[in-house]
């Protein structure tokens, strides 16, 4: 009898762990749109107020800005409208241009705080693979791709935080930038 009850308890434990895993995954992909919270670290990233601007190689805009952090991270240049997905060893895995939002994140180091697989953007456009990492002036800031593939500039009269990328780049960002992933914003 003792061995059958141990098997029963082990089965219940396995089922409970599987349920927790499913719920955790659902939570990470179905977070409400309005939960973009800022989690900047105490030390400014290169280019932040009080830090020198990260120099750029203007002849090779795809080159990662020097001084943009270490380790695995997303680097976003507000001035260049470019993103780099950087591996743990400092290698650039992918770089691409983006269409900026009307509300830019401040330079600094953040972490991905929430993600949504598909929602409607603040501009009314259906978007996918939303990766939020900052907030500014009450606006959640993050990367996303329009389901129709458009990357039109937002209406300058609207306050939006969606940094738009192509669908292919959005897929790459979605795979790379999970909850807790570091995002470094440089000027």
Pairing of strands 139-146, 162-164: parallel
Q: Could you tell me which CATH class the domain 32-186 is placed in?
A: mainly beta
Strand partners, 118: 128
Q: What was the pLDDT predicted at 67? A: 86
Token duo for residue 64:
């990662």
Chunked into runs of 10 residues, the chain (187 residues) has average pLDDT values of 54 47 40 41 42 55 89 97 97 97 96 97 92 95 96 92 97 98 97
Does the global pTM surpass 0.75? no
Query: What is the 3-state composition of the chain as percent helix, strand, coil, each rounded to the nearest 5?
Result: 20, 30, 50
Token duo for residue 12:
């219940």
Task: Please state the domain extents for the chain.
Answer: 1-30, 32-186
Q: What was the pLDDT predicted at 53? A: 47
Strand partners, 57: none
Q: What was the pLDDT predicted at 33? A: 38
CB 142, CB 36: distance < 8 Å = yes
Q: What was the pLDDT predicted at 54? A: 47
Q: What was the pLDDT predicted at 57? A: 61
């Amino acid at each position: 009898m003792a061995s059958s009850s141990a098997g029963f308890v082990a089965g219940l434990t396995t089922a409970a762990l599987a349920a927790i895993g499913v719920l955790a995954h659902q939570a990470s992909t179905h977070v409400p749109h309005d939960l973009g919270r800022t989690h900047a670290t105490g030390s400014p990233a290169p280019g932040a107020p009080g830090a020198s601007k990260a120099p750029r190689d203007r002849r090779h805009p795809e080159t990662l800005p020097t001084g943009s952090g270490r380790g695995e991270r997303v680097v976003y240049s507000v001035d260049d409208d470019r993103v780099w997905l950087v591996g743990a060893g400092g290698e650039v895995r992918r770089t691409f241009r983006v269409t900026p939002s009307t509300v830019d994140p401040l330079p600094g180091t953040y972490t991905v705080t929430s993600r949504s697989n598909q929602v409607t953007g603040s501009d009314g456009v259906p978007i996918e693979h939303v990766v939020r990492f900052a907030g500014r002036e009450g606006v959640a800031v993050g990367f996303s791709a329009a389901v129709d593939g458009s990357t039109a500039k937002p209406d300058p009269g609207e306050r939006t935080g969606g940094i738009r990328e192509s669908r292919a780049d959005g897929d790459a960002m979605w795979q790379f930038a999970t909850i807790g992933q570091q995002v470094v914003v440089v000027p």
